[in-house]
Chains A and B, each alone.
Chain A
């Protein structure tokens, strides 16, 4: 260009290196990162911003005349409390009062020195959750919460998170320990661990709906042969919760097993030999060596499982369409059905709630990993 003044000496001009096809490492690196950055920004980060923005708006596509307009926090008000929420005495009695009494007792104990403050804090949180699930979150006969459907889906999602994460860990750990034993059938073990991971979750749901079929399902057939009274799995709410959790555990424990297996294989075997020489029993070796060294892998497995459990959608949808009634309507199913009803504003607000839940859990886990190291 004619107007450019002679610049200071640069050993290799940025554009010249690029033109010559011989960029520096940093240049090449940033160039190579551009597509990934673009995709993630446009398809992952931008929608998150968009969904938060959307949640402050009224938009129902089935009411096109209304259009889309700003309504502020109305959706969140409707979701969490609502204008019709009443705090009557009868609502405060029962489990809540009991929980309150327990919390007071706990803190009296803590302040008098009989109990660690931190322990008291955790118990308080636990009690609040339990009391909340028993009284508040459930749409009782005169549900105090405006959107009882949200609290119902919230509580069933919590139940699924706790039950299926614990379940898949308790099943996944033995799977990993067994898969770690060298045997002639190693490839079959690998295939058996990969099939549940690779099956589409919906099809796992459909498949188990057939296995759990009350008259012609194989599970009830086996139960009858043993002489146990076979429940109507998917037609009653309690067995349906069990059946769904068992299915989720089946679908996910194999993946947990694979991650734990990788952790097991990274443990130095000489540690076991040393412990054996010192006379440690198999159980002692497991508790003193395996479990502590497996902690990073356990943490990773739990994080992944919890984050996928929050999003539980496919399996309950395939098994019962969220039923019977709305027993198994998870947050994911509620969001989807709100979207299908074309209420995009409220669906966005629900999505934000889900996102905040997974963010909170990620932060909790990350703190747990980093503080203890």
Chain B
């Protein structure tokens, strides 16, 4: 046992912890407070800290000025689809790398991790050309097939298959961008499941596929949730590609949509704050529910990377 620290040290640590909590939460709290003030109160000097008379009119304004509900829907569709697809692919890869005895195993994981160091910015130009419908081998053919199947959710017709301003334009890169980190998390997670569990099932006469479905899948649910949350947050927050690929108002995602409230010279800060508050609500809920899981996932990805 370590002895108790001196009172001075303890006070120092308490103050530090308080500062840490304030540092992490204050900006968001301030935005929530701002969202409850009306515009006139905001331009008053000296500024008020607590709203003098709290109002929810800004929240109504958020939905009236721009189709914010549509932004939320777009973000939800894109993030949820990207999360599901990415989790499935990453779980398959993670299982193979984490549990199966296969050749080149030690070389494949670093190769995948190095991919996560590729800047998303570099994808901007080539993907833009692809989605615009430039003739690119393989990808063009795939896009044609998708288009023929009517799978370009909401195509803006520029003559020919054009994936800009569709959900695909975001789902495809988001899956790829989150895949390395998700694979890393799931690989390290699968490594933790005791090997005996599988051997027991195999001895009892299950095939490998049956073992996977009946034994491993239920045990790995927590790891999959962790990876899923991190992919979801990444996809919900992505800005660069969403800004450039989906330019029509009805296809904007939440982070891009919120930047549209400001005019050239006008900054309706109260409305913007209300929009931010709604936009980060899903993230805050996730953090409050799954804080320990998220930290475990992030550090599994980080420390081994």
Contacts and interface: CB of A to CB of B under 8 A. Distances in A.
A210 B23 contact: no
A307 B286 CA distance: 26
Nearest to B269: A210
Given A179-B20, A210-B269, A296-B303, A22 B209 contact: yes
Interface residues of B, number: 101
A211 B27 CA distance: 8
Interface string A90-115: 00000000000000000000000000
Contacts, number: 295
A306 to B, nearest CB: 10
A354 interface: yes
Given A21-B209, A179-B20, A195-B28, A43 B172 contact: yes
A206 interface: yes
Contact of B283 (A21, A198, A218, A269): A198
Contacts of A143: none
A195 to B, nearest CB: 5
Contacts of B288: 191
B30 A218 contact: yes
Contacts of B286: 198
Contacts of B283: 198-199
Interface of B is mostly: helix
Nearest to A204: B27
Contact of A188 (B21, B95, B138, B284): B21
A200 B239 CA distance: 8
A235 to B, nearest CB: 13
Interface string B122-135: 11111111101000
B287 A32 contact: no
Nearest to A187: B291
Contacts of A61: 132
Interface of A is mostly: helix
B217 interface: no
B31 A207 contact: yes
Nearest to B45: A215
A198 B303 contact: no
A210 B124 contact: no
A50 interface: yes
B124 A262 contact: no
Given A202-B239, A259-B302, A339-B128, A355 B295 contact: no
B16 interface: yes
Contact of B208 (A28, A192, A200): A28
B305 interface: yes
Interface of B: 2, 13, 16-17, 20-25, 27-28, 30-31, 34, 42-47, 49, 88-90, 92-93, 95-97, 100-103, 105, 108, 112, 114-115, 117-130, 132, 136, 138-139, 172-173, 175-176, 179-180, 183, 207-210, 233, 236-237, 239-240, 243-244, 254-256, 258-259, 267, 269, 272-273, 276, 279-280, 283-284, 286-288, 291-292, 294-295, 298-299, 302-303, 305
Top 4 closest A-B pairs, CB basis?
A: A192-B24, A29-B102, A262-B299, A43-B176
5 contacts: A35-B92, A203-B280, A258-B302, A273-B2, A307-B119
